[in-house]
Structure 1
């Protein structure tokens, strides 16, 4: 089986389970009216290698929001997009020059609501390895790859607490070399690891 077929089979089986969506920001937005939620999508680009990796970006420190944070390529679903998959592919092309033709879409996983009012749909896709990626200077400071096995390993998922806006908040973080993956991106990775339990 190809990597795309293996990932697709594991994701389909994992999504068929009745496991709950990972708690976190969802809890705080439980009462938010649907018309106040902004649809967004991210691409989870898995490189087609013997030891697959996941492509991630780091935001510039100069950004007004999410400065310096690690993220998947992605953004809001625009009116001209044909759904979350199209939005994720478009954003990946705009942010890191990843051609949609080089992505085999495997499927989507649980949408994740952020405290900033976005409902983010992760789109899992297999990409050609070693493709030359060119980060958009306005949105991306760096592009890097983390082994998929490392990201899916629960031993690397740290549960952290801190006070924010007068209350204690809990979130996940994943440390990879000198990178800190946390917040919504880490939560989506943890949730994906639950959905891909059958991946081998």
Structure 2
């Protein structure tokens, strides 16, 4: 069975107990129209290795939102996009130079609503290893690959809290090497871990 097939089977599997998923950040009104969140999509690109990895980016320090943070390639769904999958593929091509035809689509994972008013649709796909990816310098400071099994291991999901805008905000963070993955990106990884249940089909 190919990696894409294994991921697709795990994504679509029905379990005796439904996974407890994170729906979104506790938030005040954000940049959305009439209380409706702005639709967005990200590409969760898994490398097709014996030990699969996951492609992540570090955003530049000059961006207005989430400067310097770790993120999946992605962004808002534009009117010309044919849905979330098309948006995720377009954004990945623009941000990291990942050709759309290099992505073997697996499916869509659980949506997540961010503190900044976006409802993000993760799109899961498999890509060949060691592609020559190129960061878009205005948005992406670095591209790196982290082990999928490590990122999805619940033992590495640390719950933390911070005082933010007068209230206590709870979030998850995942430390890998010198990278601190937290906020919406970590939450989507937690959800993906709970949905896929990698331990049910062997080490990735």
Task: Please indicate, yes or no, whether the TM-score normalized by the shorter chain is above 0.5.
Answer: yes
Q: Distance between the aligned counterparts of 1:63 and 1:87, measured in 2? A: 20
CA 1:158/1:53 → structure 2, altered by over 3 Å: closer, same or farther?
Answer: same
Q: Which consecutive aligned stretches of 4+ in structure 1 deviate over 6 angstroms post-superposition?
A: none
Following superposition, the deviation at residue 29 of structure 1 comes to 7.0
Q: Structure 1: state its 5+ residue gaps.
A: none
Q: Any idea what SS the aligned residue of 1:116 has? A: coil
Partner of 1:36: 36
CA 1:28/1:14 → structure 2, altered by over 3 Å: closer, same or farther?
Answer: farther
Partner of 2:57: 57
Q: Deviations over 1:46-74 (max 9, x none)?
A: 00000000000000111111100000000
CA 1:110/1:29 → structure 2, altered by over 3 Å: closer, same or farther?
Answer: farther
Q: Deviations over 1:138-177 (max 9, x none)?
A: 0100000000000010010000001000000000000000
Higher helix residue share: 1
CA 1:179/1:33 → structure 2, altered by over 3 Å: closer, same or farther?
Answer: same
Q: Distance between the aligned counterparts of 2:22 and 2:183, measured in 1? A: 12
CA 1:85/1:62 → structure 2, altered by over 3 Å: closer, same or farther?
Answer: same
Partner of 2:91: 91
Q: Distance between the aligned counterparts of 1:124 and 1:14, measured in 2? A: 18
Aligned length: 198
Following superposition, the deviation at residue 19 of structure 1 comes to 3.0
For residues 106-121 of structure 1, the aligned pairs below 5 Å read 106-121=106-121
Say if 2:158 is the partner of 1:187.
Answer: no
Q: Structure 2: state its 5+ residue gaps.
A: none
Say if 2:148 is the partner of 1:145.
Answer: no
The alignment's TM-score, normalised by the length of structure 1, stands at 0.93
The answer to whether the 8 Å contact 2:96/2:136 transfers is yes
